[in-house]
Amino acid sequence: MEPSIITVLNDQANHELLSAHCYEAMAYWCQSRDYTGFAKFFFAQAAEEREHGARFFKHLLDRGVQPKVGSIEAPRGEFTSLNELACYAQKLEQQNSSNIRQCYSLALEAKDFDSQPMLMWFIGEQVEEEAWAAKMITLVARAECAGSIYALDRHIVKEFEDG
């Protein structure tokens, strides 16, 4: 593998772990405000992001490269509202999408045919991730009163189960 590909794939694996860390902090923020449905959703997102990081690391291992797990900065843990939190989640997913597209572009340039299928899977995955983030912002914005937010919190996990 070309060193440039190794670097971007390893960096993206670590970025996935950072995203997991961020989602876990968001889940705890939600829990502390009794948004248990949102907390459950974000804990699940954290687990998914850890799996994504592991997938990048495994790809490197399968190709004979020792992955480098980096340090993770402290995630943002304070938000003024559920809307601000949802917007932050969207920014996380948009950054992930941008990073993965950069990895894919580099893999194309380097003719790293072995990395391209994995990265295409992630590109498809990011379409779904950005879709739920945009939908969450819309749903939170529509829930203008406490009763609506309570109902949304109770059903948020189900809202995203079916795609």
Binding residues for Fe cation, as ranges, are: 16, 49, 52, 93, 126
Task: Report residue 145 as tokens.
Answer: 């009163």
Distances (CA, A) of 67 to 6, 39, 126: 9, 31, 23
Query: Under 8 Å CB-to-CB from 155, ≥6 apart: which residues?
Result: 37
Binding residues: 16, 49, 52, 93, 126
